Amino acid sequence: LFWMIVCIHNIINYDIQISSNGTNRICTNPSGTYSIFLSFYSILINGLSMPLLMTIFGLLTVRNLKRYYNQIHNSITIILERRKKQEWLILRMILIQLIVNVILSLPITIYLCYSGLTQYIIKSSFRIFMENYIYNMLTILQYINAA
């Protein structure tokens, strides 16, 4: 429900362009104020809040596991060593997930900032082609991240 409310601006502001023969439909965001808003929104959501939330919830998970193990086990050295190893493995898994998430979501965030800042610059058709190609490749990275 939260993400439905946060992303409602996409439904309102995106344009659906229909080709002259009526078969092709393209969703685009209009240039101008909304494009600049989308750049800052991307920085805030993809660039800052997602890694921050993943870090917070990862650390809370490790803390809860420590509390759980302390309630169940007595302080026997073998159990303590096994528990420390499990905690390290979980922490390592969370760090790897966080790093992969940042690596896969940061490029599209940077591109959207670039796109918002350069929208009023006159561009050649080759530059537009390259920017669209880069955008499509970065979108694939974002889909990989979501999978």
Q: What is the 3-state secondary structure (H, E, C) of 20-64?
A: CCCCCEEEECCCCHHHHHHHHHHHHHHHHHHHHHHHHHHHHHHHH
For 38, the token pair is 């989308």
d(C-alpha 64, C-alpha 68), whole Å? 6
**Crossing angle of the two packed helices 77-117 and 50-72, in degrees rounded to 10:** 170
List, for residues 59-85, the tens digit of each pLDDT value.
888 888 777 766 655 556 666 677 778
**pLDDT value of position 146:** 78
126, amino acid identity? F
Let me know: does 24 contact 18? Beta carbons within 8 Å. yes
**Crossing angle of the two packed helices 77-117 and 33-42, in degrees rounded to 10:** 160
CA-to-CA separations, 115 to 76, 102, 125, 132, in angstroms, rounded? 58, 20, 15, 10
- Say how many domains are in the chain: 1
**pLDDT value of position 129:** 92
**pLDDT value of position 133:** 93
**Crossing angle of the two packed helices 77-117 and 125-146, in degrees rounded to 10:** 160
State the pTM of this model: 0.65
**pLDDT value of position 76:** 62
Supply the range of the domain harboring residue 118. Answer: 2-146
Look up residue 121 and give its DSSP letter. Answer: S
List, for residues 93-145, the tens digit of each pLDDT value.
888 988 888 888 888 888 888 887 888 889 899 999 999 999 999 989 888 88
Q: Which residue has the higher pLDDT, 4 or 130?
A: 130
List, for residues 47-58, the tens digit of each pLDDT value.
788 888 888 888
